[in-house]
Chains A and B, each alone.
Chain A
Amino acid sequence: MPKAPEAEPDWELVRKRNFVERLKHEKGGLAVIDDLPAMIATGYEAVPEEDMVRLQWYGLYHDKPKLGYFMMRVKIPGGVLTPRALRTLGDLAQRYGRGHGELTTRQNVQLHWLEMARLPEVLATLAAAGLTTAGACGDNVRNVTGCPVAGLDRDELFDCRALLREAAEFFLEHREYSDLPRKHKITISACAHQCNAPEMHCIALLGTLRDGQPGFAVKVGGGLSTWPRLADDLGVFVPAAEAVAVLRAILDVWRLDRRYRLSRARARLKFMVDDLGAARFRQRVEERLGRPLADGAAPAPPAEELDHGGIHPQRQPGLAYAGFPVYLGLMNGEQMQRLADLAAEISADGRRGEEVEIRLTRRQNFILANLPAERVPEVVERVAAIGFPLAAGAGSLRRLAIACTGNPFCNFTVAETKGRLRQIVEHLERAFGAEGAAALGELRLNLDGCPHACAHHWIGDIGLQGTTLRERGPGGERLQGYDLFLGGGLARGAAIGRPVLRRVPGDVVHLAIERLCRAWLDGREPGERIQQFFTRHRDEQLIESAGVPAEVLAR
């Protein structure tokens, strides 16, 4: 196997080998915004594909088919939306986006159907509401995520919202950090439950206390996609006041090493951390900083993952937050408008001076924060009327099941995603009934339409990745199937799921999942979670349990 080149390549070689580096060198991604009026005048069809790539720097992607409509990803740092911001998103979805809207696994909101000619007014409207798409896609620091109940939760170590905002603003449209080797994902929280998935981010700052002083442990080098890797503990303690400087130093070590710019396939921080190891990577960061970092250790992972669903009293007396399931992560423009208006109305009525906020979670749900405790029952009822019942379906299935954007919008997907997830969830609800669905507990179904893993199929209890069968339909059409990954998860049992079943046909995948759940319920040790059950059994045993006949898998 050929080895990595010893010598660092010069820019000339980088640009020869890597087309996007050439493209960025010719004109940076951020510069595309100045060309937008000219591009609109030229018309979509004549815009060179290079500029289409640059538009990613403003959160824009081709929708499918590529006929002139765009997906727009709006960054929501920490997932915190004011009623006005959500109202704006709802208005834009209604006016320019055929009403479609979706919540993502990184606390973004995505709209579709936007036409290039309308982009200037869309971007201006977003800016007026304090929202931005800059750096939402492309080789940037993507949306900085955090715990959706930061500053509210009683178990939180300390409130790091200010730092999260500071970091998000520092890297926003920053010339040096908008030409990274590829996308870069940062998460910051002091959530006692580490709900923000520090294991799978490029950089995670994990809140911790030292002698009562707030600071952070740092994990680096996590990521999923086609090369899943759990992050390493850098073994340091960073006082809160130095956190942005340390983030910068890590990003500098990363972006200035040209080795990883040779190929987009290896241009993620996880490859560098894997090559160097945490200790040598830390050394490089310290060299960049010009001083050593204090030793420390990341806080122990919590026993289980948590999405902060349900009703909870806040740290602030008299206030509560309520986490609502958003089935399939779909929230249409009208729902955004109505939810925003409800939040604004409760805020106006608030006697405690806290605005009601809509906070987005990484499992594509939302939390209403700063609710006067006595109004919670009324709010729950009114939110249900908007389409988000607090107790949706049976058990936690609808709250925890996630799927990526997929059809009909995404150009990468090869199989149905949200539609298929709906079919699976509703089948399980029927098959197990209310009691059985409750027995399934916090079952996490993560379904992706392609290997990019936007819905994190590697770390679901049951992860699914869309694929196609070798067999064709009678008209020669592609038939959908799913690879099943079992035993993945975060928190104490953090692990990358094993690909156990391949090419399970789309029309029986719900049955295979039902049988795997049943195998667990029938065969579990006392208190054993489904992930542990999958870990305890060999692939062959699980394949047999899933009960998909060999001739079906062979299709």
Chain B
Amino acid sequence: MIHEPISPAGLGAASPLARPGAASPPTAGTPGAGAPRAPHVPAAARRDLLDELEAGQLANDLDYATPQELLAWALARWGRRLAICTSFQAEGMALFDMAWRLDPAVRLFTVDTGRLPSETYEMMEQVRGRYGVEIEVHLPDARKLARMTTRFGPNLFRRSVEARLLCCSVRKVEPVRGALDGLDAWVTGLRRDQWASRANIRKLEIDHDHGGLAKINPLADWTAEEVRDYNRAHDVPEHPLYARGYTSIGCAPCTRPTAAGEDARAGRWWWETNAPKECGIHCPLETGGLEHELEAMLHGSEDGEGSAGSEGREG
């Protein structure tokens, strides 16, 4: 339901487009009509955010672009308003290497959930040394983290899918959100063949899960082999856990190696039953998948008709 609606008084008075003498039917539901006119939004004050028409056209034009061409285009457009998101897996590292060769000042950010394997911290050091860059690190909110761990314990994720989603939310989803808040564009390592039902992603999208900034997916049509080949050819640092059988790398307690041929789900939250399909595997944060599952599982409505409040508090 609607909580604390913005007062209609915040909306302006009679339309500036009114013809003299014309009158619409009397107002019954807008007590605020007659309040001072709302200030105009000057276009120049807006950030460089794409609108849907523009994004659709660009995504079409850019679909043929190589990863480097796309990165060059995006860096030229957004510069420091753009950052690459990495968890030091192969895709993120390849993208950073490509972007760094185009512009050594390119921004790179990561989230330190507080439960990362020590190898990931080694990777951070290695990347800092190899490229001579700072990695912007985003952390969970200390108070929320304290509240959660105090109440549910440090290993709450083993208790239930809901508890694990809460942990993901506090440790990962919200810090990523915080990182994106200051940006106009971000670059992800999403690939179309990572997950069958996500095969339609575009190389440029408006990220409606993160406030409408641009999301650039330069590796969308690359295969895992192409990423690996690029990294080898360019001597890009490789996360040591790959060599130990890991296929995807996240928090230490929730990730483990998988045997050849084993389902990808065996490598993440293997103790869970009745977890949503796709949840947590193959970058669902970047696809918005984790956010959607979070809301459906933690804030979901029972109402089959779609009540106005089913995604939590209204904006």
Contact = CB atoms under 8 A, between A and B. Distances in A.
Interface in A23-65: 23, 44-46, 48-50, 52-53, 62, 64-65
Nearest to B299: A477
Contacts of A543: 40-41
A23 B69 contact: no
A248 B27 CA distance: 55
B26 interface: yes
A18 B192 contact: yes
Given A44-B277, A470-B181, A50 B196 contact: yes
B29 A408 contact: no
A478 B295 contact: yes
Contacts of B169: 476
B223 interface: yes
Interface stretch (A121-129, A164-172, A366-374, A546-554): A546-554
Given A19-B199, A226-B52, A264-B200, A65 B276 contact: yes
Contact of B11 (A502, A506, A548): A548
Interface residues of B, number: 109
B173 to A, nearest CB: 9
Nearest to A432: B25
B209 interface: yes
Contact of B315 (A46, A550, A555): A555
A555 B274 CA distance: 37
Interface in B259-315: 263, 265, 273-279, 288-289, 291-293, 295-297, 299-301, 303-315
A511 B8 contact: yes
A416 B310 contact: yes
A407 B308 CA distance: 9
Interface stretch (B57-65, B100-108, B110-118, B125-133): B57-65
B278 A49 contact: yes
Contacts of B61: 1
A19 B198 CA distance: 10
Given A226-B52, A419-B307, A506 B314 contact: yes
A466 B288 CA distance: 14
A89 interface: no
B6 A507 contact: yes
B204 to A, nearest CB: 9
B41 A554 contact: yes
Given A49-B197, A415-B311, A467-B208, A435 B25 contact: yes
Contacts of A19: 192-193, 196, 199
A264 B195 CA distance: 14
Contacts of A225: 56
B208 A407 contact: no
A549 B17 contact: no
A477 B307 CA distance: 17
A64 B292 contact: yes
B14 interface: yes
A50 B128 CA distance: 39
B51 to A, nearest CB: 4
A431 B59 contact: no
A485 B53 CA distance: 10
A378 B214 CA distance: 56
A505 to B, nearest CB: 4
Contacts of B66: 2
A284 interface: no
A465 interface: yes
B307 A508 contact: no
Interface string B1-43: 0101110101111111111001111111110000001111111
B64 A4 contact: yes
A299 interface: no
A66 B293 contact: yes
B55 interface: yes
Contact of B60 (A16, A265, A431, A469): A265
A101 to B, nearest CB: 10
Interface string A193-219: 000000000000000000000000000
Interface residues of A, number: 119
A469 B41 CA distance: 16
A468 interface: yes
Contacts of B64: 2-5
Contact of A228 (B15, B53, B308): B53
A544 B277 contact: no
Contact of B177 (A18, A432, A476, A554): A476
Interface stretch (A80-88, A150-158, A349-357, A513-521): A513-521
Interface string A387-427: 00000000000000000001110010011111110110001
A52 to B, nearest CB: 6
Interface-centre pick from B64, B309, B310 (highest chain A CB count, 10 A): B64
Contact of A522 (B18, B30, B177, B297): B18
B22 A468 contact: no
B202 interface: yes
Interface-centre pick from B192, B203, B299 (highest chain A CB count, 10 A): B192
Contacts of A430: 28-29
B17 A408 contact: no
B16 A544 contact: yes
A481 interface: yes
Contacts of B63: 263, 265-266
A62 B277 contact: yes
B40 A62 contact: no
A100 B313 contact: no
A64 B203 CA distance: 25
Contacts of A551: 39
B208 A522 contact: no
Given A20-B199, A507-B2, A549 B10 contact: yes
Contacts of B79: none
A436 B293 contact: no
B306 A407 contact: yes
A545 interface: yes
Contact of A266 (B15, B60, B315): B60
B313 A473 contact: yes
Interface of B: 2, 4-6, 8, 10-19, 22-30, 37-43, 45-46, 49, 51-53, 55-57, 59-66, 69, 73, 141, 144, 169, 174, 177, 181, 192-193, 195-197, 199-203, 205-206, 208-212, 220-221, 223, 263, 265, 273-279, 288-289, 291-293, 295-297, 299-301, 303-315
Given A432-B25, A550-B40, A555-B315, 12 more contacts: A52-B196, A65-B296, A99-B304, A225-B56, A226-B56, A228-B53, A271-B60, A406-B306, A416-B311, A467-B211, A519-B15, A519-B17
21 contacts: A2-B64, A65-B296, A98-B304, A227-B60, A406-B306, A416-B307, A419-B309, A430-B28, A431-B28, A436-B25, A467-B206, A467-B208, A467-B211, A470-B181, A477-B311, A508-B6, A519-B18, A544-B12, A547-B15, A550-B40, A550-B45
> Which 4 A-B residue pairings sit nearest by Cβ, starting from the closest?
A479-B315, A436-B25, A547-B12, A519-B15
